[in-house]
Structure 1
């Protein structure tokens, strides 16, 4: 252990010295080409790659700034950079194949890649398209908006629309046409179509780094990316790093003089340690990063699960998969969820965790838990990313989102969702089957501990799937209780025994309680706690609806149009009330819940009123504990 620590310290010192020597002040230098000078996120020539972002590399050819923009298929096109407005993050570019259209014709036209999949740019609002016809069987003069190429090797007889196509010209006889983006201001200012095209068009790039970069440069620093924060060179805006300004020339001279001897000394120590380790240890090789706890946990998980383990992705894969996190689906305490696409075309939901410095136990717990499942009512985990501090989960995409947006509304006892009662009943039955599977269908029992509408996802057919296993616990199917050191779950759905062990032991029955609270919220179309209710008896919905059931009063639920609706709503109410019994032993198992939901209404008895629920229900904060 001491040898490993010495090696790590030596490597860290060496890397720090190299970084100090090589990068201090480097990112303060702009990319230069002729009269052009551009900074972060652009890089190229004298500006190293870690001073910018992948996709923003500039080149200087014949004193002309150029950029190559690639699409999802890896095909790239070169663009001439007319100007970059760094303050507004707008770049004016021209397609290289039409750059000199007024003096020469291209041998072929290229596909436009400025905006599209994996491109970091988007058109500025108001961008127009100019149409270019080519291969036309007639001649015209330049002044009329035409240009004729006499070189048979090139595309001849070009025509670019200005205000309209001449009535004496039939463009349908031309070989084809292409659309070229142009600036609206160019159309207003220039009469010649060639001038309009050569003036280029505007694209915008967006990044959260902007204010950080301004603050960095104000203090004399250089904007770049943390070259030690990622395994690859596919840097993103999230890796922004402010390199300190170059202090003095003398400092760099001193560093240059001492870095050689110090580096050599450190390398000698490292080599000596390696030789000693090889001689006296059965371990034949030393790999520094394999000693991290995070790495060991991932490798242990992959070994234990073998072919059953989901696919592992790098953070660069996640960035490309989500098109640089372009389409955000939702936000939670864990981080954000983004829409993505796999290489085979499948849509996915990518859950990106907040950056954490922990050992990743909770994260790998979720991966391990859901990897053991395969059920129509449990969301499928397709992959994960554990790239140092970068962590993400890749789930199957659920087009209808989460359940809560279909059940809550503003007015009490009136459902605002477009889902009929029969569909809501099917959703409840589906969730009960999913929970039954987690409790009994797996080789290892999984207790979810966070069943709530937000964690029930719906696919295109409104088939429910249980998601978010971050708080789940694994235990043997023979165990009657779960060992826990802390309370976990979301207030309003947590079973009483989870935070008060005097009530009973924590077990799979804790999920039954959360399920019951969720079912009653589906029926009531509201949170179980209503602090704005006019009457005290209506504050806690489970008590209010229990009283109505006992007195055989009208339930006052909106949208009940048939006997079937009335039967399934009453069945869901009775099952929900049984599930929220205070004593865990009084609650049915999920297998029994499924039987109760699919059985006859006449076989269900009215359960005792859950006395403590009213006081426990006052915890209606939706945040997780």
Structure 2
């Protein structure tokens, strides 16, 4: 599907890039090897695999230098006498490889035919059925009977090689979503570069392929086709669906046989396999099923990482079969069984289904892995054992398609469109939306209001884009990796696994091409004026500290902005300290661990205040913004409200209050308490400490007695009166000193006057010392009694 190569820039610039460079990107994928096999592959395939300045890597192969297994058939690269890496592509001919990146190969097409009129050539290029897919933007060619005024935001031209007035025709290139209503009546669309099915062709496709294409309650849509009801062009070969006498949509898949279609969604097809062979022992059958080489693939999710441990809260389950010499205790979170159809008790062999990433160290020595299975279900909110039994009973699974048409249809669905097939261009394309005509005064007024709102929103988005791009231009080369929106979709598997929702947008789990798990925050364009984005990149984009979340990359493309962070498997501190009120919770932390976490947070804040070239004030220190890694080490996150200032400046000018209620320093509300400075973060840290040791909110309206509503005052009174602090957690006898120390440090930090609060360096010194070294602070607030 043709998409513009550099989305944020104007169409005019993109056209110039295309005319002068003729560059195209192509999808690629890769896999890793380990151990001896990895070393053998490197020796055979990478030792002599360089041409000019280009390293040729799998799935591509440098011919005459490497064995055939070093690459995929059709991806052979030759090295010219001039030292240029050349690959020959169907419909494109010999192409010079410019560079490889994570997802694409940038090439330059050669030949006079392309040089004469690249846009015309590109619009007629079709790679359907090949292993390649063009990766550039949609556009359409528009022919007008007279010259028109252009707009660099959506239309440019005229294009000399297509029509510049010599024949009474002027041809322009426009964005695909541009309405023809924006052009004079003498303009018509004449060609689309991998874009939408429009006009008569669209209506013909709907009539031929969608009018009689329903079986039971299932609508059969391209790239699938209902046989005996629609022409052959309505679907891709191998995706034919038949309708049974019972009204079931049936598709026959290799190695699976006839399958009943349960539902379609954007990313996969849910099917139910039929037949006695599957019913007898479904887990054994699934583990031996191999669809390699077909256009189908079983849905898998590679979201578990052994070095992070096991976290059933996230993602999708794959399974493995484990044979044990004796019965073992099962755990519904990760192992289920024994599986009757696979076990033989008379021979002393019991077979269980276990999470594919579960370590064998958790099982007795008499257990061995006997087979690896596929995806059996979505884990969030459901246990592994439930999913295993559910699969055995329903025989339902998801399959996706390994064909370019499926990828194009996904893109169409994300744009709110259907997909179809253009016989004129012989390729898959989106079906353009119908443009209705407004009738009646009310509809006209409503339409006008909508248009005004859209124009206003578009102008606002454009201003934010300019602001963000100006910031990135002045930021220098030290910024993290910049990803395209297409990259972000691949990293997040098209936003398949949502971790949560924050004030500025949604967070999704993802995976970088090298297998590193990440969290991707998609910022909402309607919030923050781009400030959240620039704050994050400007602050943590350049710094690296063990107690600060690392920003690995970002995306800024039109109105889309995203931030890519390292993934924290244990979520936020909030889930641990406030879960202690639930006696059944497994997330309780020991007092010693709380002290270590407090020290880590203090080190992180101290680094922000003293260790950076410019002082960074966070202004939103709270449990929700403290993330925990796999060893429960704390990392400060969410710098959307942060502010940079010179280290020799002690007073910060604020135009608006920042932070979260319950953690905001008094001077943020009223300047009578003092000036805003780095001491405001110290106050927030003190309130955080109190919540850590108490396991409750500092302002808790659910507490019955009024004298205990303001928790910090209650803590102070107990310390003065030398009474025990009754907390929501059980503590060991020798934990009392830690509790006393944390309480006194917290009360020092929440002194109402900023000048009486310690610096974070002093706070860290107190936390590392003994409780006796920390003096009792003065009362930090006016009594409420």
Same topology, TM > 0.5: yes
2:721 match: 551
Secondary structure at the residue paired with 2:696? coil
Aligned pair partner of 1:386 in 544, 550, 556: 556
Can you list the C-alpha shifts for 1:223-261, whole angstroms capped at 9, x where unaligned? xxxxxxxxx99627553259654769xxxxxxxxxxxxx
The residue number in structure 2 matching 1:374 is: 544
Alignment of 1:52-71 (within 5 A): 59-61=235-237, 64=240
Contact 1:487 1:498 in 2 (8 A): yes
CA deviation after TM superposition for structure 1 residue 341, in Å: 1.1
Matches within 5 A, 1:242-257: 244-245=433-434
The question of 1:356 aligning with 2:526 is answered: yes
2:291 is aligned with 1:115: no
Q: 1:246 to 1:355 in 2, by over 3 A?
A: closer
Alignment of 1:516-527 (within 5 A): 516-527=686-697
How big is the shift at 1:9?
7.2
Q: Which moved more, 1:302-311 or 1:455-464?
A: 302-311
Residue in 2 that maps onto 1:325: 495
Alignment check: 8 A CA contact 1:509 1:587 kept: yes
CA distance in 2, matches of 1:329, 1:562: 38
**Counterpart for residue 658 of structure 2:** 488
Distance 1:606 1:247, change over 3 A: closer
**Partner of residue 16, structure 1:** 179
Residue 434 of structure 1: aligned partner: 604
TM-superposed CA distance for 1:77, in Å, is 8.9
Does structure 2 conserve the Cα–Cα contact (< 8 Å) formed by 1:310 and 1:383?
Answer: yes
SS in 1 for 2:745: helix
Mapped to 2, the partners of 1:163 and 1:541 lie a distance apart of: 58
CA distance in 1, matches of 2:585, 2:593: 13
Query: Per-residue deviation at 1:472?
Result: 0.6
Map Cα deviations across residues 156-189 of structure 1 (whole Å, 9 max, x no partner): xxxxxx999xxxxxxxxxxxx999999xxxxxxx
1:474 is paired with a residue whose SS is strand
Structure 1 residues 246 and 511: CA distance shift in structure 2, 3 A? closer
Q: Could you tell me which residue of structure 2 aligns to residue 447 of structure 1?
A: 617
1:378–1:410 CA distance, 2 compared to 1 (3 A): closer
Larger strand proportion of the pair: 2
User: Over residues 41-87 of structure 1, what are the superposed CA-to-partner deviations in whole Å (9 max), with x where a residue is unaligned?
Assistant: 954599xxxxxxxxxx9844399469xxxxxxxxx999999775668
Shift of 1:425: 0.2
Shift of the alpha carbon at 1:598?
A: 1.2
Superposed CA deviations along residues 374-427 of structure 1, whole A, max 9, x for unmatched, are 111001111112222222211111111110111114759999743110010000
- Structure 1 gap ranges (5+): 47-56, 67-75, 96-107, 120-124, 126-161, 165-176, 183-200, 207-231, 249-288, 616-625
Partner residue in 1 for 2:705 = 535
Give 1:348 shift.
1.0
Residue pair 1:581, 1:610 contacting (<8 A) in 2 also: yes
Per-residue deviation, 1:329:
2.1
1:573 pairs, out of 722, 726, 743, with: 743
Where 2:702 maps in the other structure, the secondary structure is coil
Contact conserved, 1:519 with 1:572, CA < 8 A, in 2? yes
SS at structure 1 position matched to 2:713: helix
CA 1:382 to 1:247, structure 2 compared with 1: closer, same or farther past 3 Å? closer
Between the aligned partners of 1:58 and 1:316, the Cα distance in structure 2 is 28
* 1:240 and 2:411 correspond: no
Is the 1:439–1:445 Cα contact (8 Å) retained in structure 2?
A: yes
* Partner Cα separation in structure 1 for residue 527 and residue 688 of structure 2: 34
1:457: how far off?
Answer: 0.6
Partner of 1:29: 206
Which residue in the other structure is 2:246 paired with?
Answer: none
Distance, in Å, in 1 between the alignment partners of 2:754 and 2:674 is 6
The alpha-carbon deviation at position 300 of structure 1 amounts to 3.8
Are 2:521 and 1:337 aligned?
A: no
Aligned to 1:499: 669
Aligned residue pairs total: 454
Q: Paired residue for 1:477?
A: 647
Q: CA deviation at 1:529?
A: 1.8
* Rounded Cα–Cα distance in structure 1 between residues aligned with 2:410 and 2:697: 45
Which of residues 548, 557, 561 in structure 1 aligns to 2:732? 561
Using a 3 Å threshold, how does the CA distance of structure 1 residues 555 and 61 change in structure 2: closer, same or farther? closer
Per-residue deviation, 1:470: 0.8
Query: Does structure 1 retain, via aligned residues, the 8 Å contact 2:742–2:767?
Result: yes
* C-alpha deviation, 1:500, in angstroms: 1.8
Tell me the distance in 1 between the aligned counterparts of 2:632 and 2:260: 50
2:44 alignment partner in structure 1: none
Gaps of 5+ in 2: 1-11, 13-148, 157-173, 181-188, 226-232, 243-252, 275-288, 304-315, 317-340, 344-370, 377-394, 401-407, 419-431, 438-458
Per mean C-alpha deviation after superposition, the further-off stretch among 418-427 and 25-34 is 25-34
Task: State the distance in 1 between where 2:677 and 2:581 align.
Answer: 36
Q: Structure 1 residues 13, 324: closer, same or farther in 2, change over 3 A? A: closer
Distance in 1, Cα, partners of 2:273 & 2:630: 42
- Indicate the structure whose relative CO is greater, using CA pairs within 8 Å and at least 6 residues apart: 1
Higher normalized helix content (fraction of residues)? 1
CA distance in 2, matches of 1:375, 1:387: 28
Distance 1:79 1:319, change over 3 A: farther
Q: 2:760 aligns with which of 563, 580, 590?
A: 590
Distance 1:351 1:382 in 2: 12
- Secondary structure of the corresponding residue to residue 743 of structure 2: helix
1:379 and 1:467 in contact (8 A); partners too: yes
CA contact (8 A) 2:580 2:587 kept: no
Task: Map 1:220-239; keep pairs closer than 5 Å.
Answer: 235=411, 237-239=413-415
Which stretch of the first structure deviates more once superposed, 343-352 or 232-241? 232-241
- CA root-mean-square deviation: 5.0
Distance 1:58 1:497, change over 3 A: farther
Tell me, yes or no, if the aligned pair for 1:65 and 1:81 is still in contact at 8 Å.
no
Q: Secondary structure at the match of 2:766?
A: helix
Secondary structure in 2 aligned to 1:533?
coil
